[in-house]
Amino acid sequence: MSLSANKKSVSPLAKVLKLLARRDHSVSELTLKLKPFYSGSEIDDVIERCLRENWLNDARFAESYIRSRSSSGYGPRRIAMELQQKGVASETIRLALREVNIDWQALLLRLLERRRPLPEEPAERFKLQNMLLRRGFSPDLIQRCFFSTEI
């Protein structure tokens, strides 16, 4: 059975379990994936069951997502924005960012170590700072790391 199988051949629960076996999803993300195949009431029923059985948990999804994206070199602002786009509540994101206990400064310093030596030319430094901003690090953290003696 494929994930694109039509409604008649795959139950909503079977489809959800197949999706959740691959990775965690947010409630919103899972709902969007089910919409083309099932009615609203079927989706609500299966989502409710998954929440009740703790197969689906936005807080767990957010923590897992934060760990994954931070290990790829992304900062808290970018990760929070991506989680909001995936339908995770702001409060859940805020709590998950606190729970994962990531040292964002150490992560940023590791990213900067790859770029050693740091560019001396102002235009090049500006480009590097913009890249780090796009990756989701705050301007003050970037400045602290740029002038840190650890690099």
Nearest alpha carbon to residue 73 among 95, 102, 100: 102
- In this prediction, residues 29-52 reach a mean pLDDT of 94
* pLDDT score of 137 more than 90: yes
DSSP single-letter state for residue 146: H
Q: Which amino acid is at 131?
A: M
Q: How many residues does the chain have?
A: 151
C-alpha 42/C-alpha 147 separation (Å) is 56
Q: Which two tokens stand for residue 125?
A: 């430094």
Cα–Cα distance between 48 and 42 in angstroms, integer?
Answer: 10
Residue 150 pLDDT greater than 90, yes or no? no
Backbone φ and ψ of 100, nearest 5°: -70, -20
Does residue 64 carry a pLDDT above 70?
yes
- Read off the tokens for 8: 């008649």
Query: What pTM did the predictor assign?
Result: 0.84
Asked whether residue 1 carries a pLDDT value surpassing 50, the answer given is no
**pLDDT for position 113:** 87
Computed over every residue of the chain, the mean pLDDT equals 89
Report how far residue 125's alpha carbon sits from residue 122's, in angstroms, rounded to the nearest whole number: 5
Q: Which of 8, 28, 32, 33 is nearest to 18 (CA)?
A: 33
